[in-house]
Amino acid sequence: MVKRKMAKRKKANKSRKSKLIRATRSKKSKKSKKSKNIKVLVIVLAILIFLLFFISELFSIEQEPVVLATNMSIEQKDGIFFESILYRYPTEVLVIERTNQTKLDLGVSSETDRLNFGRLVFNVTPVVTKFLSIPNNGERPAKIKIINYGNISQFITPDQNNIIVQPGKELTVKIVLNITELGYYTGEMEVKIKIPKYDFLIPALYFS
């Protein structure tokens, strides 16, 4: 009888130990699952933040300036993935009607710090051309984008836009003013230059 009771006690102790072992194992597995889930969540968040910054630098939002430029200015931004350079040129033209009293000081302005198309006579000099040279002195290709603002923007057209310029090369853009109405028109031309900071980002320029 005593031996049977001892055997039963041993079995009970063994079952208790096995239950404890199972419980501790299940707790450990749950903890490991939670830690794995946290790690995965952190990685996903890091990837999302990376993509958010990358997209925000690659695809800049075009928004008309609150105040148009009155003098040529240069703005430079050093981002995580791209370096951005912004040239702001004031643009203006005065189109008048031809009369017998028209003065002789008409014509295109030769100013280099602004795109001043001067004083033009309506239906006499409707199309005016200027040239803008944009060199790439960096070590990587650069994306060039030209945007016009103001009431003059409807009459200005660059002959090429969204162009990638290779290192050591120069882009010459023909700016054509085709004026069709009398009046005084002003605005701003922005030349945006985007340069990748790393070689593996160069292909992204073709999709921006």
CB under 8 A, 24+ apart: contacts of 195-201: 195/82, 195/83, 195/84, 195/85, 195/138, 195/140, 195/141, 195/142, 195/143, 196/81, 196/82, 196/83, 196/140, 196/141, 197/79, 197/80, 197/81, 197/82, 197/83, 198/81, 199/140, 201/81, 201/82
User: Are 168 and 90 members of one domain?
Assistant: yes
Confidence of residue 24 (pLDDT cuts 50, 70, 90): low
Is 123 within the bounds of a domain? yes
Between 186 and 110, the higher pLDDT residue = 186
Between 180 and 93, the higher pLDDT residue = 93
pLDDT tens readout for residues 86-145: 999 999 999 988 776 545 454 555 566 788 888 888 877 778 899 999 999 989 999 999
- The encoded tokens of residue 146 equal 């030209």
pTM for this prediction? 0.73
- The boundaries of the domain holding residue 111 are 73-207
The Cα–Cα gap between 51 and 37 comes to 21
* Least confident piece of the model among 60-69, 73-82, 127-136, 147-156: 60-69
User: Are 50 and 113 members of one domain?
Assistant: no
Q: What is the pLDDT of residue 59?
A: 82
Is 68 within the bounds of a domain? no
Do β-strands 156-158 and 127-135 pair in parallel, antiparallel, or remain unpaired?
unpaired
Strand partners, 120: 95
Confidence of residue 58 (pLDDT cuts 50, 70, 90): confident
User: Are 112 and 142 members of one domain?
Assistant: yes
User: Are 53 and 79 members of one domain?
Assistant: no
